[in-house]
Amino acid sequence: MKKTQSDQVTALNLGKQAKLTPQLQAYFDKCREKLGFVPNVLRAYAFDAAKLQAFIDMVDDLMLADSGLSKLEREMIAVAVSSVNHCHYCLTAHGAAVRQRAKDPEMGELIAQNYRAAPLSGKQKAMLDFAVKLTQKPAEIEESDRQALRDAGWKDRDIWDIAAVAGFYNMSNRIAAATDMKPNREYHYMVRSPTAESA
């Protein structure tokens, strides 16, 4: 599978990168500094600075702002949803994130394959059950589904966040599928050695 890192990260010809605002330029610089690269999803959106900024604002709020869900739990939702939707981009990028945040390469694999096989707490299992039902059968969500989350220990405010993260990756998965978006190859190789947690 020889390949070169080209400028084209999707199957669409979207024209060249827009002139980035200083705020976006600084964001890209920080990505390069912290990750070593700019995630391809941002490069894909970069043909239009307004769309790129709106995407960053939403994803950073969802995944990094204060929440009753840990950052790992939010990444677990991203990966469980992407597993249902078989999204190559998100499974690669967020699979790496679960491996990293869990400090456990096996957990990342498990959620990407089938969260039902993962050793989760009852509270986390309920969270992913809800996220996956919401992904597969949104029309069939009823009050009893919300109540199951409350019974497992989640607050109403957390239920919003579970829904918002699950909803977001149902969007991202589809944009990636529609455009054949390719993840940065570096993700495949991150956090692949046994760690203290997985030992």
Which structure tokens are listed for 43?
């490069």
Nearest CB to a copy of itself, comparing residues 12 and 26? 12
Distance of closest approach, residue 79 Cβ to a copy of itself, in angstroms: 11
Q: What's 139's DSSP letter?
A: G
Distance between CA 130 and CA 73 in Å, rounded? 13
Distance of closest approach, residue 92 Cβ to a copy of itself, in angstroms: 7
**Quick check: 81 and 170 in contact, CB under 8 A?**
yes
The total of other beta-carbon atoms located within 10 Å of residue 70's CB is 11
Nearest CB to a copy of itself, comparing residues 29 and 180? 180
Distance of closest approach, residue 32 Cβ to a copy of itself, in angstroms: 20
Nearest CB to a copy of itself, comparing residues 26 and 65? 65
Residue 160 backbone phi and psi in degrees, to 5: -55, -45
Distance of closest approach, residue 192 Cβ to a copy of itself, in angstroms: 4
Distance of closest approach, residue 193 Cβ to a copy of itself, in angstroms: 7
**Quick check: 130 and 143 in contact, CB under 8 A?**
no
Nearest CB to a copy of itself, comparing residues 26 and 54? 54
Nearest CB to a copy of itself, comparing residues 28 and 55? 55
**Cα 84 from chain centre:** 13
**Quick check: 56 and 159 in contact, CB under 8 A?**
no
